[in-house]
């Protein structure tokens, strides 16, 4: 699967309260959560982003709460994937469990600038910047995680192994 889109850049320690503030957590509806995606980190984000665009962030993306609403909001807003220097632990597993593609790649997170075009090959985790030849290799997921991702998330995995 190839993912292509414009880069929206964020800093370190972007927490789940910024990704989807708790004031919107009285619903679990993905479309409604998507309307407030990244609201407290960048209030104009939802208006400017387009389907397929890519979030690029620094260290510890998604720290804080366990709310699965955070990766759900990002996925439902049409963002194709998140590239970061590192991810907070619960966000990392939530993204895997619900099928939001995430890539840990400090070099790409540094090289990709706000507004540039990026391309990601979700199959092998390679990342490139439009107009440049350099290929950035993101961390390879362990076999166990790849199995969950291949079957389409944890629930699909559960149905299969039932």
Interface residues toward other proteins, by CB under 8 A: 12-13, 15, 17-18, 21-23, 25-28, 40-41, 43, 59-60, 63-69, 72, 86, 88-90, 93-94, 97-98, 142-145, 148, 153-155, 158-159, 162
Q: Which of 41, 83 has the CB closer to other proteins? A: 41
114 burial level (CB within 10 Å; 0-12, 13-18, 19+) = exposed
Please report how close the Cβ of residue 25 comes to other proteins at its closest, in angstroms. 5
- In the complex with other proteins, which residue's Cβ is closer, 106 or 153? 153
In the chain the beta strands, taken as DSSP E runs, fall at: 2-9, 54-57, 81-84, 102-104, 117-121, 126-129, 135-137
Q: Least distance (Å) from other proteins to the CB of residue 61?
A: 10
**Least CB distance from residue 108 to other proteins, whole Å?**
19
- Residue 98 or 111 with smaller CB distance to other proteins: 98
Neighbours of 107 (CB within 10 A): 13
- Which bin fits 64, alpha (ψ -120 to 50), beta or left (φ > 0)? left
User: Which residue do the tokens 């075009």 mark?
Assistant: 117
Closest to other proteins by CB, 33 vs 55, is: 33
Question: Judged by CB, which is closer to other proteins: 8, or 87?
Answer: 87
Return phi, psi of residue 36, to 5°: -115, 15
Asked if 104 and 84 touch (Cβ cutoff 8 Å), the reply is: yes
Shortest separation between residue 130's beta carbon and other proteins, angstroms: 30
- Find the shortest distance in angstroms from Cβ 151 to other proteins: 13
């Amino acid at each position: 699967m190839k993912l292509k889109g414009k880069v929206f850049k964020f800093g370190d320690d972007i927490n789940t309260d910024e990704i989807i503030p708790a004031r919107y957590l009285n619903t679990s509806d993905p479309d409604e959560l998507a309307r407030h995606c990244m609201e407290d980190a960048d209030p104009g984000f939802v208006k400017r982003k387009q389907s397929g665009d890519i979030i690029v962030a620094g260290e510890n993306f998604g720290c804080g709460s366990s709310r699965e609403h955070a990766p759900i909001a990002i996925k439902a807003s049409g963002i194709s994937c998140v590239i970061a220097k590192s991810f907070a632990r619960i966000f990392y597993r939530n993204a895997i469990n619900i099928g939001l593609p995430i890539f840990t790649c400090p070099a790409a997170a540094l090289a990709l600038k706000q507004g540039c075009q990026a391309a990601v090959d979700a199959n092998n985790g390679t990342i490139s910047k439009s107009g440049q030849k350099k290929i950035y290799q993101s961390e390879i997921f362990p076999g166990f995680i790849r199995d969950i991702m291949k079957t389409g998330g944890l629930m699909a995995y559960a149905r299969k192994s039932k």
